[in-house]
Structure 1
């Protein structure tokens, strides 16, 4: 019996389940971090968080579906487990890279915001009075 279709179904169920779990975890735990990056603007933080989750789903589920195809025919249980371990391992690595990329970008934004908040606020400089008059050229 050809177990390739069984491998496809198991791969999709586990991969999409992992993607949803990681996205929800990142969304729930990242909300506070994003609010800090955006200096307490809760509505903007919620919107950015939602957009990050949607992008995360699009990229990862897109990758999962593109990586579904297998050139080998799976004929036995051992081959099923080997194919699934390779495919799921790659999906987990991609999820991890996506997570680290998000954290890196948000951390850079947070650092920049902290530096801007800690920068000394200089008083506005009044304009200088005119220094003299210059005749127009050609007159």
Structure 2
């Protein structure tokens, strides 16, 4: 088998494995965060979580597929490692950027909800108090 094909197979296996692992981790740990953002609506949190995971898979696996092609032919074992390290490094950076973008957007949504909750008084006003006269 050609070394280039071996590099492609290793790249695909590692990239897809990393994408699945990151997506599952984000899904499992992000559910609690989403439930807080969505004011305890568990069904909506599960639905949004699922949609985010599907979008995460589509973007990252699409990038992995597009980034698969290489103009250089791998001629030796050193070339396999160099090609893999460059490609996997970029895939890891894209996974990290996608994760940070998701957290940023969800944090903005959460902050907006917290601000809305803080604007409403916890107890409605009970009575009117006349201001004291200045001395």
Q: Same fold (TM over 0.5)?
A: yes
C-alpha distance in 1, partners of 2:47/2:63?
A: 24
1:132 aligns with none
Deviation of 1:75 (Å): 1.1
C-alpha distance in 1, partners of 2:48/2:120?
A: 28
> Aligned pair count?
123
Q: TM-score, normalised by structure 2?
A: 0.88
C-alpha distance in 2, partners of 1:2/1:46?
A: 45
1:114 aligns with 114
1:41 aligns with 41
Deviation of 1:3 (Å): 0.4
- Aligned Cα root-mean-square deviation (Å): 1.4
Contact 1:56 1:98 in 2 (8 A): yes
- Which residues of structure 1 form unaligned runs of 5+? 124-139
Question: Counterparts in 2 of 1:61-76, with a 5 A limit?
Answer: 61-76=61-76
2:49 corresponds to 1:53 = no
Q: TM-score, normalised by structure 1?
A: 0.86
Max radius of gyration: which structure?
Answer: 1
1:100 aligns with 100
- Which residues of structure 2 form unaligned runs of 5+? 125-135
**Structure 1 ranges of 4+ moved more than 3 A:** none
Deviation of 1:2 (Å): 3.1
